[in-house]
A = this chain, B = another copy of it.
Amino acid sequence: MSGARKHVQVEGEFSMRRGGVLIEPTIAYETWGTLNPARDNAVLIFTGLSPSAHASSCGADTAPGWWEEMIGPDRAIDTERFFVICINSLGSCFGSTGPASIDPVSGEIYRLSFPVVTLEDVAAGGARLLDHLGIDRLRAIVGPSMGGMTALAFEIMFPGRSQGLLVLSSGARALPFSIAMRSLQREMIRRDPDWCNGEYTNDRMPIMGMRLARKLGMITYRSALEWRDRFGRERVAAEHAPDDSFGIDFEIESYLEAHAVKFTGQFDPNCYLYLSRASDLFDVAEHGGSVAAGLSRVQSQKVRVIGVTTDFLFPIEQQRELAQLLDTPGRAADMVELDSIQGHDSFLVDMDRFRPVVAEFFA
């Protein structure tokens, strides 16, 4: 049953939380492992802002996934035991309907006519997918980063639909520092003259804005400590051209440039704007008046929150807040603090620390 990207077309209208309706939107997903006859061994993964549903390789798509070392036979999320589903967020550009998709009503690309996307909409898309797959109750719902906020939204909106909840490097809502960082990334894209208020063409994309945004994104995803150890004040080998007096001097600048160039062209700028804003808008407190009230609606019986001390996009205090408020009578809730040095991105790269604590959750 393992295979490459699949799609489900949601039946009828899909009402968006902040207004607007999508007609039969598509939700792209991938699965690994086999759904058991009782249909109760499924694990649903929501992603961070930029990944696709390709979390791990499979027979039909052998390219390594974004969480390759985490998902597979005998891995931390064991596909011999679980039917693992990863969903491409609504509003993204890797198969699910988003601002880069064709509006079936107009026949044109949505662009900025796409309704505001919230993480509650992304979570609702996940619920529709489960309906389609005939899965009433999940073994666990898993979400790193933005996916962690989506997982919380799912828990709150569909109480009782999962037995377990695993949130990694996330939080109950965006804090102003993170909002500032993301807002500035969005502005860099919007101020690129080639953005054209979202009406860019494939021939002329807001490449410079995307590159700048990605560089700032990378700065927020890693940590000062990692870079000090890794790059120090190393200079690049080549002096920059005499007519480029503000070109690249340091290895850290070269590293950011390479990441930025790689990212540009992979991700649709409007989709980036929509999902980035969705991260800022999310607030558990909208569900009940306070973070505590919102989290009181979570019904998973087994909860683990994993955080990293060097993460400054979702600081460790935010995971502590989650763990504390979710640690209520009758529930097994715990918190794992990891001292990875790669900051927010640690869940993607520091597998030696993350694998065992994810495996332990599923043991």
Contact = CB atoms under 8 A, between A and B. Distances in A.
A246 B198 CA distance: 11
Contact of A180 (B116, B190, B227, B312): B227
A186 B215 CA distance: 13
A224 B312 contact: yes
Contacts of A253: 179-180, 183
A249 B281 contact: yes
Nearest to A219: B180
A179 B245 contact: no
Given A180-B252, A283-B233, A246 B273 contact: yes
B176 A228 contact: yes
Please tell me how many copies of the chain the complex holds.
2
Interface string A151-186: 000000000000000000000011111111101101
A212 B233 contact: no
A208 interface: yes
A177 B283 contact: no
A246 B176 contact: no
A30 interface: no
Interface in A225-266: 227-228, 230-233, 245-246, 249-253, 256
A222 B180 CA distance: 12
A112 B223 CA distance: 33
17 contacts: A173-B233, A175-B224, A176-B251, A177-B224, A177-B228, A177-B252, A179-B252, A179-B253, A180-B219, A180-B252, A180-B253, A184-B215, A187-B215, A191-B208, A224-B315, A249-B280, A249-B281
Given A191-B208, A246-B273, A177 B219 contact: yes
A102 to B, nearest CB: 19
Contacts of A223: 177
Contact of A188 (B175, B180, B188): B188
Given A180-B219, A219-B181, A273-B246, A175 B312 contact: no
A320 interface: no
A176 B280 contact: no
Contacts of A245: 112, 116
Given A179-B252, A180-B219, A250-B176, A212 B224 contact: no
B183 A212 contact: no
B191 A212 contact: yes
Interface in A178-217: 178-181, 183-184, 186-188, 190-191, 193, 208, 212, 215-216
B256 A184 contact: yes
B175 A250 contact: no
Nearest to A234: B176
Given A175-B228, A191-B208, A191-B212, A280 B250 contact: yes
A277 B244 CA distance: 13
A248 to B, nearest CB: 8
Contacts of A280: 249-250
Contacts of A246: 186-187, 190, 273, 277
Nearest to A253: B183
A120 to B, nearest CB: 16
Contact of A216 (B116, B190, B216, B252): B216
Interface string A273-290: 100010011010000000
Given A176-B233, A187-B215, A224-B315, 20 more contacts: A174-B233, A175-B227, A175-B233, A176-B228, A176-B250, A176-B251, A177-B219, A177-B223, A177-B252, A178-B224, A180-B215, A180-B252, A180-B256, A183-B250, A183-B253, A191-B208, A191-B212, A212-B212, A224-B312, A246-B277
